[in-house]
Structure 1
Amino acid sequence: MAAVVQERTVPPTDTLIKYENPVLVTTHPERKNRDASPSKVGMTACKVQTALPTTDIRRETDEILNGILPPKEWEEDCQIWTQRVSSIPATRLDVINLQEQLDMRLQQRQARETGICPVRRELYTQCFDEVIRQVTINCAERGLLLFRIRDEIRMTMAAYQTLYQSSIAFGMRKALQAEQGKEDLILAADELRVQKVELEKNVAELRQKFEQAETRAAEVREAEDKKHSEEIQFLKKTNQQLKTQLEGIIATKK
């Protein structure tokens, strides 16, 4: 077992949760199953503040506190320090100070009053953990119930965060697809414009050929009409001559 050789008083860390003074251990402590669910710890009866808790109840309450809010451990100058949450019952003044500290830190860290704000969420999470600590000391059942509520809220928030990130990724993919589709449409439009120019050129050439063919056909038709008229005039003249000759022959015979 690791032996406790020293304690030191440190200034409050940047958290709203109340901790005890850090304790220095000489050797690496054996890792206990501190992450075990507090629901597996035996439920203790609610303690009346006017009655002093027994040693067993106090020890069980400490175990529940350590399960809900695990102790901190860190290494400094080749020494291992551990720090547990405070097991001292909170007074009305402590609750008032907690509210004032929350408001002050919200203002100092410039947390947004509305919308999504990681700073505001972090501070309210710390405040809720401190309230759970205070309630657990007085009544372990209430503390465990608040612990369940806290975990449910965290899971819900994590689910919404995952959904939000997935929706952002989906929106980005759709935006990229739309951008890619826009580029394809621009290329297709350019190709259609080129095809339109070529088709207009073909139409102009065909129209010119049509006009030339129509002109030639008109000239041929006019030439044929002229030739036909000349043939008719020639035949009429020849007919008239033959008729005159025939009449002369008939007159001579009489």
Structure 2
Amino acid sequence: MSDDTAEPRAKFTRVLLKISGEALMGDQGFGLHPPTVERIAGEVKSVHDLGVEICMVIGGGNVFRGLQGSAQGMERTTADYMGMLATVMNALAMQSSLERMGVNTRVISAIRMDEVCEPYIRRRAVRHLEKKRVCIFAAGTGNPYFTTDTAATLRANEMRCQAIFKGTKVDGVYDKDPVKHADAKRYDTVTYDEVLQKHLGVMDASAIALARDNDVPIIVFSLDETGGFRGILNGEGTYTRVHG
């Protein structure tokens, strides 16, 4: 006889969650909003409690965006390195919230800063995941001209994640901006090539191409919906799956 009270089993056992830096600023318009960081950490913990191994990549746009700095006359390489440092700040904030909730977490940086976080060593990071520690990958790929979207797809491949979860403000991929257009239509599924051809804006082109070449599905969902991350891992909720 089945036990109806048994904990539901997740569809994936190892995933990468990609969120923007802007997701951490709440309604402030800049910087970190601690209650928002805490809420997102709670969403991560709820999935971690299912036994899922979790990697994270967080953007830095709430603190500094390299492309915008470059557009204002700053040398692009310098601006991108500043953006990478912003992602480390966000990663440390998320680590602090997760560890207050009892979730062992490691911040792993592509740029060495040993007093603050670990350097990126692939085999060590895999071991952390096997020990059920959340790994937050910071400083992008460690190279200018690459976005945190590309870094997320790269790390997902290196960690052999079964899917990339892209947390956004809307519940999937639409044919046009649903905030501006009431008649926008949401895709249940869409191919990598359609995302590139139709410029659907899921991730940048190099990130989509890297996911396509390694057949890593991208699940786009609303990070603002409480329980959404956990629900999708249990096969529930509204989202768009980007696949081959």
TM category, shorter: under 0.3
Indicate the structure with greater strand content: 2
TM-score normalised according to structure 1 size: 0.24
TM-score normalised according to structure 2 size: 0.25
Larger Rg belongs to? 1
